[in-house]
Amino acid sequence: MTISVSVFAFVQRRVKVFLLVFLITILVACWALTRSNESVPVTRLSKKLMQEIQQKIEVHNVEMFKQALKPINLKLSELERNFQDYGKKRFLPVKYLAEKDRKRILITGGAGFVGSHLTDALMMAGHEVTVADNYFTGRKQNVEHWIGHENFELINHDIVEPLLIEVDQIYHLASPASPPNYMYNPIKTIKTNAIGTLNMLGLAKRVHARLLLASTSEVYGDPEQHPQNEDYWGHVNPIGPRACYDEGKRVAETMCYAYAKQEHVEVRVARIFNTFGPRMHMSDGRVVSNFIMQALQDKPLTVYGSGTQTRSFQYVSDLVNGLILLMNSNYSKPVNIGNPDEHTIMQFAQIIKKAVGGKAPIVNVKKMEDDPQRRKPDISRALKYLGWKPSVALEVGINRTIEYFKRELHKSKKSKLVDL
Ligand code: NAD
Ligand code: UDP
Ligand code: UDP
């Protein structure tokens, strides 16, 4: 009897111990599972979600985020939280930023070519972005994929008029940029660069925001120094056809430093060299869009003048990286942002012709008045103070841009069919 009682007690103890161990194991497993859900790479947890994001990125040509996705160390919970439905619309993933790190950012000219890529990068980094644009050369479609997102706002506004808004940073990009566009209405170009910049500096002063001016290599004019560093004062014809833009940007720079000195506004000045990539306007008349469109349609590639003049082309994602680095740096003097890889325009025509294929001839046509003959940035300042240098090779960028133009051409052909 006593034996059976003690056996029973022993078995009971074993069962209790077993149950306890079992319970602990379950708890530990649950804890481990939640931990792993947070830290295991997305690819292993949700291939479908990753594919969906990749497709969106392709459609919107979001170069910056392609790079960010490469290490795939984003957490599923983070992505799901941000790649969410607002109504019926799905957005690209947006990083979660704590309030102290999240900035309210104004991008003037944000619906343009460069501005829209900058919008993508800043939105995906988790900031609150307001785009102010009058759609002179930009279009809503470039930022359409953010409309409706709680961090995004689009204002139809001409910066020649004052703007009242509360922000921490201003990327001031509003200005026509291609020669045919800025020569189309030279007075408006001057007003945009002079009065528009004055308004943005007034705004920066009032709300204590930092302002980055998208200046240009055109401030060096037709340069007598090669390559151009930031200490070069330039060689600009003040009454030539390019003056509305060149002098407009020069006075914009002057105003930045006057507001910095007199009103203690924090300014950053990026001197941007020729930039290309998806979302350039198909008919903006710049050399990249002209040559690609001509080659795609088997039309002659029009080289203005002899084609011995040179340019150095940078891909748009390199520029966007440089702008963000400059804005957040402590360096306040002008900085060249460009790719020093220099080509003659004739060589460039041959590169495009080869990349597109087809039989389009290259022809020489009338030269442009005051066309700068040589242009190549000295980027030692950007390297020294920002740790920045371009990373996208010309051929890679060109191929991506050709793909974009092919898609745009296809779309416009389809819409013409619908019109008929
Ligand atoms: P873009 O023409 O595509 O974009 C300019 C944007 O500014 C457009 O969306 C346009 O609608 C808007 N805009 C023009 N006037 C305005 C006004 N008065 N009010 C509000 N919005 C206005 O040109 P981009 O290539 O994206 O150039 C962006 C900036 O970078 C410009 O300031 C340009 O001078 C500078 N930049 C560009 C290059 C380049 O190669 N792309 C080179 C040097 C400098
Ligand atoms: N401005 C603006 N938004 C602001 C503050 C100023 O657009 O939030 C404009 C203002 O209308 C003026 C310009 O910026 O035309 C320069 O402003 P500032 O205060 O420097 O000069 P002031 O108004 O004294 O002439
Ligand atoms: N260019 C050309 N054919 C074109 C368009 C431009 O030969 O169809 C030349 C232009 O004369 C200049 C260079 O290409 O020398 C770059 O022109 P773009 O308008 O792109 O920019 P810029 O650097 O002159 O502002």
Residue 419 burial (10 A CB sphere; 0-12, 13-18, 19+): exposed
One-letter amino acid for residue 314 of the chain: Q
- Position 30 scores a pLDDT of 59
Candidate from 114, 158, 274 with most ligand 1 atoms within 8 A of CB, to mutate: 114
Q: How far apart, in whole angstroms, are the C-alpha atoms of residue 74 and residue 175? A: 36
- Position 413 scores a pLDDT of 80
- Starting from the CA of residue 138, give the closest ligand: 1
Q: Which residues pair with 41 in a beta bridge?
A: 75
Number of other residues whose CB lies within 10 A of the CB of residue 226 = 14
pLDDT band at 43 (very low <50, low <70, confident <90, very high): very low
Secondary structure (3-state) at 133? strand
pLDDT band at 22 (very low <50, low <70, confident <90, very high): confident
CA 314 to centroid of chain Cα atoms: 12
- Position 70 scores a pLDDT of 58
Q: Is residue 52 predicted with pLDDT exceeding 80?
A: no
The pLDDT tens digits of the residues spanning 65-86 come to: 666 665 555 555 566 656 666 5
Secondary structure (3-state) at 350? helix
Q: Is residue 168 predicted with pLDDT exceeding 90?
A: yes
- Name all residues whose Cβ lies below 6 A of ligand 1: 108-109, 111-115, 133-138, 158-160, 173-177, 192, 196, 214, 216, 272, 274-275
CA 172 to centroid of chain Cα atoms: 13
- Position 407 scores a pLDDT of 93
- Position 417 scores a pLDDT of 60
Q: Is residue 295 predicted with pLDDT exceeding 70?
A: yes
Mean pLDDT (whole number) for 350-354: 97
197 lines ligand 2 (CB under 6 A): no
What predicted TM-score, i.e. pTM, was given to this entire model? 0.89
Which positions ≥6 away from 6 have C-beta within 8 Å? none
Pairing of strands 169-172, 210-216: parallel
- Position 154 scores a pLDDT of 98
Work out which ligand 2 atom sits closest to the CA atom of 263: 20
Which run of H or of E encompasses 255? helix 243-263
Q: Is residue 178 predicted with pLDDT exceeding 50?
A: yes
- Position 39 scores a pLDDT of 41
Q: Residue 315 carries which DSSP code?
A: E
Q: How far apart, in whole angstroms, are the C-alpha atoms of residue 309 and residue 305? A: 8
Q: Is residue 419 predicted with pLDDT exceeding 60?
A: no
The pLDDT tens digits of the residues spanning 219-255 come to: 999 999 999 999 999 999 999 999 999 999 999 999 9
What spacing in Å lies between the alpha carbon of 176 and ligand 1's midpoint?
A: 5
Q: Which residue has the higher pLDDT, 96 or 11?
A: 96
Angle in degrees, CA 248, 335, 214, rounded to 5? 40
Q: How far apart, in whole angstroms, are the C-alpha atoms of residue 25 and residue 22? A: 5
Mean pLDDT of the chain: 89
The pLDDT tens digits of the residues spanning 358-404 come to: 899 999 999 999 999 999 999 999 999 999 999 999 999 999 999 99
- Of all protein residues, whose CA lies closest to atom 15 belonging to ligand 1? 175
Q: How far apart, in whole angstroms, are the C-alpha atoms of residue 320 and residue 44? A: 31
204 lines ligand 2 (CB under 6 A): no
- Position 19 scores a pLDDT of 78
% of the chain residues with pLDDT over 70: 86
Q: Which residues are catalytic?
A: 245
Q: Is residue 123 predicted with pLDDT exceeding 90?
A: yes
Angle in degrees, CA 242, 213, 373, rounded to 5? 35
170 lines ligand 2 (CB under 6 A): no
pLDDT band at 412 (very low <50, low <70, confident <90, very high): confident
Residue showing tokens 């080509």: 343
Dihedral Cα 173, 176, 182, 184, nearest 10 deg: -150
- Of all protein residues, whose CA lies closest to atom 13 belonging to ligand 3? 287
